[in-house]
Structure 1
Amino acid sequence: MIDSTLKTAALALSLPLEPVAAEQVVDGTPQTGYIELEPVGDGDGADIGVWEMTAGAMSDTEADEVFVVIAGSAEVEFLESGDRVVYAVGDIGRLRAGQRTIWRVADRIRKVYVTPPSIE
């Protein structure tokens, strides 16, 4: 976790990348990584982080999230609806818990995300 109280240079962060699990790989050899920033509030607020994926395609089941793309681009296929959306630098995206997706990345994508607080 990174203390982001005053400023975080999201493009300059070094993210630890790991290979995508074999059962999620659709094409290529994608890697993903993320860093969580200091949570909003007293630890029970929204989670904020930076996530990146390298070239390739992977399937995923989403969590509730709002994100802003800060580098690269990806085409995201929403399997239930068949919609395909290209997200590029400056785009804001909205994912809903349980959506099944395929992320297709030509080079890389990096996004800043916000997820709601966990309900326990």
Structure 2
Amino acid sequence: MTSTPTVSFALHVPTAELLPDPLDPAQIVSGTPEVSALVLTGSATGETGVWQITPGTVTDVEADEVFTVLSGRATVVVDGGPTLELGPGVCGVLRAGERTTWTVHETLRKVYTITY
């Protein structure tokens, strides 16, 4: 990810250029998903940014996060919890420590805020 800008700015999120944010190969269950991201603001207590993942299936351990999907589709299974169907306009909340499996059907782009 990139460093946080130090001045006020506006960004057209659907076409923003993101930088590679490689997955740990142990997270990949199937396919060849690739992740890219751009941190918009960050501090010791959290960050806000844009995140994208291409089709495939990956696992993750989540942070406290609120996000809104801009484009794409995915199904997220929370171990011991709900199955989330994500698509454009969907706002989601993930809790720290949740183990998830993301099956990305169409390249998904979201804007997120994580709190530490």
Normalising by the residue count of structure 2, what TM-score does the alignment of the two structures yield? Answer: 0.86
1:92 aligned partner = 91
Q: Distance in 2 between matches of 1:53 and 1:109?
A: 5
1:29 to 25, 28, 32: 32
In the alignment, the residues of structure 1 paired with residue 21 and residue 112 of structure 2 have an alpha-carbon distance, to the nearest angstrom, of 19
Gap regions ≥5 residues in structure 1: none
Tell me which of 7, 10, 13 is aligned to 2:10.
Answer: 7
Q: What does residue 69 of structure 2 align with? A: 69
TM-score normalised by length of structure 1: 0.84
Contact 2:21 2:37 in 1 (8 A): no
Secondary structure of the structure 1 residue equivalent to 2:14 = coil
Change in 2 beyond 3 A, CA 1:46/1:23: closer
Identity %: 34
Rounded to whole Å, the distance in 1 between the matches of 2:13 and 2:4 is 11
User: 2: distance between equivalents of 1:61 and 1:45?
Assistant: 18
Conserved 8 A contact 2:49-2:112: yes
Deviation per CA, 1:22-71, whole angstroms, max 9, x where unpaired?
211111011112110034xxx45541100000010000000000000011
| SS at 1:7 equivalent | coil
SS at match of 1:29: coil
CA RMSD in angstroms comes to 1.8
